[in-house]
Amino acid sequence: MKGLIQIYTGNGKGKSTAAYGLALRASGRGLKTIIIQFLKCGNCYGEHFAFEKIENIDIKSFGKPEFVNFKNPSKGDIELANEALEFSEKTLNESKYDLVILDEINIALHFKLIQLERVINLLKSKPENVELILTGRSAPKEIIEIADLVSEIVEIKHPYQKGINAREGIEY
């Protein structure tokens, strides 16, 4: 199988969910998947608990329980984002997985927690047979140009506009 590079970006809800759906499809066909979460803690999101129970899907998270203050990210947030990138580079080089999902990497790039050049190098050195997915708002144009598939998810309407907070099991 020739692996492609996909991006799910935009301000709408469902970018990670789309990537996770592809992970389920791949698992159903016997493909091995890893989801590497940037800026998300492992025991804070429902998908983490679910994927731990599914064969052929591994998940690794690099984040703290509290949200990142993007106007003033902590040293710890920057270090975790770079650990996630290092882990991503190492994982791709091992060629152990058919599908690699870099969840929320675009946000880490947008707020300059990680270096764009390193991510470009990662994309360009991706093994031929690995499908690579990048999620998160604000995908940089340089990454979009390299990708084979780019989907922009646009928000039309969202429950938070009515004051409905994020719900466990639905939004996280």
Local confidence band at 171 (pLDDT 50, 70, 90 cut-offs): confident
Rounded to two decimals, the pTM is 0.94
Using the 8-state DSSP alphabet, how is residue 126 labeled?
-
In a domain, 108, yes or no: yes
In a domain, 158, yes or no: yes
In a domain, 168, yes or no: no
Using the 8-state DSSP alphabet, how is residue 41 labeled?
-
| Section 77-97 average pLDDT | 97
β partners of residue 37: 61, 103
Closest CA to 25 of 102, 98, 128: 98
26, 54 in Cβ contact below 8 A?
A: no
Please give the residue range of the domain that contains residue 116. Answer: 5-162
- The one-letter code for the residue type at 83 is E
In a domain, 107, yes or no: yes
| Section 19-33 average pLDDT | 97
30-55 per-position pLDDT tens digit: 999 999 999 998 888 889 899 989 98
Local confidence band at 141 (pLDDT 50, 70, 90 cut-offs): very high
- Report whether pLDDT(121) > 90: yes
Residue 129 Rama label (left phi>0; alpha psi -120 to 50; beta): alpha
Local confidence band at 65 (pLDDT 50, 70, 90 cut-offs): confident
- The one-letter code for the residue type at 171 is E
In a domain, 172, yes or no: no
pLDDT at residue 158, rounded to an integer: 84
Give the Cα-Cα-Cα angle 75, 80, 83 (nearest 5 degrees).
Answer: 125
- Report whether pLDDT(116) > 90: yes
pLDDT at residue 42, rounded to an integer: 84
43 C-beta neighbours (distance < 10 Å), count: 8
* Number of domains within the chain: 1
CATH number at residue 150: 3.40.50.300
d(C-alpha 142, C-alpha 119), whole Å: 10
Residue 123 Rama label (left phi>0; alpha psi -120 to 50; beta): alpha
- The one-letter code for the residue type at 12 is G
